[in-house]
A = this chain, B = another copy of it.
Amino acid sequence: MSDCILFAKRNDMAKKKEKEMEADFSAEERLKEAAIKVFTQKGYAATRTRDIAKEAGLNLALLNYYFRSKEKLFEIIMMEKLQQLFEIIIPLANDPSTSLDKKLTAIASEYIDMLSVNENLPLFILHEIRSNPERFVSKMQVTKIFSDSVMIKQIRERRSDINPIHFVINILGMVVFPFIAKPILFSSGQVDDKAFGVLINERKKLIPLWVKAILKAK
């Protein structure tokens, strides 16, 4: 019984703390953060603006007051998230002063760190782009990774006999795929959140090693 009271009190305090933390952000910021959470989790089509408002602890009218429409709010978030994905790799892949090996280490490490705190990002982006390719294609500076990047040139120097895109696909796949396949890994029962954390941390060191190995493979 006293346990119950203590527990209730602790819960109250946690709630209060939460409220206070929320209060540090404006309604606009809270709606945007809520929208990021819900959109990236469920995708555009499956999210209801009511869910976003509820997640933010605010009401639906505010969403339209600040962002005009679900569509416009989505567009803002999508652009930000595309930016977030590309701003990591483009400068790293185009740095002429680093070796290919250094690039691999940097990309694996920085991408995995970013995705660890944005686990839903890859699947969200990939799903939304496919639902509406023409809409976002122009916004993506993919050329800067896949065709005329310094990294592509460095890969070509090592393996002129294989299309360098193969290796870019492999690097990105090794980094991104675990996050995309997470629900499947978990369903095996062999992986939980802790084990997943260990795995992706190991991959920071393993991926550069692996990529060097496949660059040599005959």
A181 engages B131 (CB within 8 Å): no
User: Quick check: A181 and B166 within 8 Å, CB to CB?
Assistant: no
Interface segment out of the listed A9-17, A103-111, A204-212: A204-212
Query: Nearest chain B CB to A31's CB is how many angstroms away?
Result: 21
Indicate whether A190 sits within 8 Å of B143 (C-beta atoms), given known contacts A45-B45, A209-B217, A214-B213. yes
How far is it, in angstroms, between the C-alpha of A169 and the C-alpha of B42 when the chains are bound?
24
Q: A202 interface residue, CB < 8 Å from B?
A: yes
Q: Is A155 an interface residue (CB 8 A)?
A: no
Q: Separation in Å of the A153 CB from the closest CB of chain B? A: 14
| B183 & A178 in contact (Cβ 8 Å cutoff) | no
**A64 at the B interface (CB under 8 A):** no
Bound CA span A173–B120, Å: 17
Q: How many angstroms from the CA of A217 to the CA of B207 in the assembled complex? A: 10
Which of A21-29, A49-57, A90-98, A121-129 lies at the interface? A121-129
Q: Is the CB of A165 within 8 A of B191?
A: yes
Q: Find the residue from A44, A181, A210 having the highest chain B CB count within 10 A.
A: A181
Chain A residues numbered 40-83 whose CB sits less than 8 Å from any CB in chain B: 41-46
Q: Are A187 and B126 in contact (CB under 8 A)?
A: no
**Contact indicator A189/B147 (Cβ below 8 Å):** yes
Residues on B with C-beta less than 8 A from A199 are 163, 165-166
Which residue from B133, B147, B186 sits with its C-beta under 8 Å from A186?
Answer: B133
Please tell me which one of the listed residues B44, B127, B184 contacts residue A140 in the complex, with CB atoms under 8 A apart.
B184
Say yes or no: is A216 at the interface (Cβ < 8 Å to chain B).
yes
29 contacts between A and B (CB under 8 A): A43-B45, A43-B127, A43-B131, A46-B46, A46-B131, A123-B126, A123-B127, A123-B130, A127-B127, A130-B182, A133-B187, A136-B187, A140-B187, A142-B184, A142-B187, A143-B189, A145-B188, A146-B188, A146-B190, A162-B206, A163-B202, A165-B190, A165-B199, A166-B199, A166-B203, A170-B174, A173-B174, A173-B178, A213-B217
Question: 7 smallest A-B Cβ distances: which pairs?
Answer: A173-B177, A45-B46, A213-B217, A45-B45, A146-B188, A137-B187, A142-B188
